Amino acid sequence: MAFNTDLGKHRKKLERNGYLHLEKVLSNDFIQSLNSCGSQIIASELDEIAEWHIPGKKRQYLYDFSTQSFFDAFREGLSGIIGKLAEEIIISERHIKVYLTEAADFPVPHKDRHAAEFTIGFPIYIPQDSRVCFFPFMSRNENTEQRAVYAEMPDDTKMERFYADDRIVKIKGTVGDMFIFHGSTVFHERIMPAGCMILYIKVNTARQDPLGEHASMMEDFNKRSEVLEVA
């Protein structure tokens, strides 16, 4: 079991708003897996994905769903809230992000790559002042590129002042929660991110796997089941 509740009851609200924060919806197994990843990262036992290191912003690690049955339960749980069959859900990204101490406090908002039809964040550790921000008043045009795009702003924009706008939705969240949003259509960003540790799973139902992270996961599951059969 990945979630402790039927996420499907929140689908309409997600569609209406484009983003959603759900509190205390993860199963104990899922929380344990997140905490264990967090401990391994702190103890330097997990390998960083070197090509995804963004200097001055964050380190990234590949999240392992550990077993196919846990992954199946995860997809089944998401199926209700995104309104698509579980088998159609492709994991285009499964990264644990650790924000560096030098990461900017008030970055320019962005949209995720096209393959992030839905982006789902699972907090592992969130420092006191950090917030994920959504911008419901900004353009909801879909980003059709396979790279993140950033909001265009005048060069002299005072970013801290920009973030004082009351229309910006700011969410803290804690381990056990999730936030889900249309990553490629809704502008979003994290403020005061230094020290944050978050699992980001990005999914789509258009068979897009630009980083090969769904394919590599399925290969791993196949290898493990072959080992079990031989044993």
**Distance of closest approach, residue 35 Cβ to Fe ion, in angstroms:** 23
Site string for Fe ion, 59-98 (x = CB under 5 A): ----------------------------------------
Residue 60 pairs with which residues in a beta bridge? 97
Under the criterion CB under 5 A, does residue 213 sit at the interface with Fe ion? no
Alpha helices in 147-190 (DSSP H): 159-162
Give which of 52, 204, 8, 201 is closest to 123, Cα–Cα.
Answer: 201
C-alpha–C-alpha distance, residues 79 and 74, integer Å: 9
Of the candidate spans 10-18, 28-36, 106-114, 190-198, the one that interacts with Fe ion by CB under 5 A turns out to be 106-114
117 binds Fe ion, rule: CB under 5 A: no
User: Tokens at residue 198, please?
Assistant: 């978050």
DSSP H/E element including 11: helix 11-17
- Taking the least distance from each CB to Fe ion, the nearer of 112 and 177 is 112
- Which residue of 112, 117, 177, 213 would you call a contact of Fe ion, by CB under 5 A? 112
Smallest distance from the beta carbon of 110 to Fe ion, in angstroms?
6
CB of 146 closer than 8 Å to CB of 212: no
When the beta carbons of 27 and 123 are compared against Fe ion, the nearer one is 123
Which residues here bind Fe ion, judged by CB under 5 A?
112
